[in-house]
Amino acid sequence: MGRSRGRLACAVAALLAGCSSDTAPSLAACAEILAARAPSARVVATVSDSVTEAALDFEVGSWWKEAARGRLACSFEEQPAGGLRLRAAVLDGQPFTSAEVTVVNADLLLADMRRAAETGDAPPISPPR
């Protein structure tokens, strides 16, 4: 996922949640997943029941036709080193397959690594031998 799309997803989640510093990590991660799946989606409502559960109601459409509504529900597990790992997701009543969950988790890991590198929190990389 591109940096701008990820930042946009987090910004939308933060605005709907009320305050960016209080945005649940699960909500931001679920918004990243939605942005990767449907870049043109507009989040219209959010729910974050816990640190590891989130749901987004969204619309997809354009000016010449009525917007279609959808819902993405995400269930995460916290990782010992920090960050979240997707356990399950349901998009409009259809659960993600295990392959889709694996791809999403790889994308989330890469996004975490990219953010760590940008903030200087990334561990040094050993030179090849």
Q: Which tens digit of pLDDT belongs to each residue from 36-62? A: 999 999 999 999 988 899 999 999 987
Contact 33, 12 (CB under 8 A): no
pLDDT at 105 over 50: yes
- pLDDT value, residue 6: 47
**Mean pLDDT in residue range 86-106:** 96
**Mean pLDDT in residue range 12-39:** 74
More confident residue, 61 or 29: 29
Residues above pLDDT 90, as percent of the chain = 50
Residue 21 has what DSSP assignment? G
d(CA 117, CA 40): 28
pLDDT at 66 over 70: yes
Q: Whose CA is closest to 17, among 41, 40, 48?
A: 48
d(CA 27, CA 47): 8
d(CA 70, CA 25): 21
- pLDDT value, residue 128: 55
- pLDDT value, residue 1: 44
Q: Categorise residue 8: left if φ over 0, alpha if ψ from -120 to 50, beta otherwise.
A: alpha
Number of H helices, E strands in the chain: 3, 5
pTM: 0.74
Q: Name the residue ranges covered by the structural domains of the chain.
A: 3-119
More confident residue, 82 or 9: 82
The pLDDT confidence band at residue 29, using thresholds 50, 70 and 90, is very high
The amino acid present at 87, given as its one-letter code, is R
Other beta carbons less than 10 A from residue 125's beta carbon: 7
**Residues forming beta bridges with residue 72, ordered by sequence position:** 56, 91
- pLDDT value, residue 72: 97
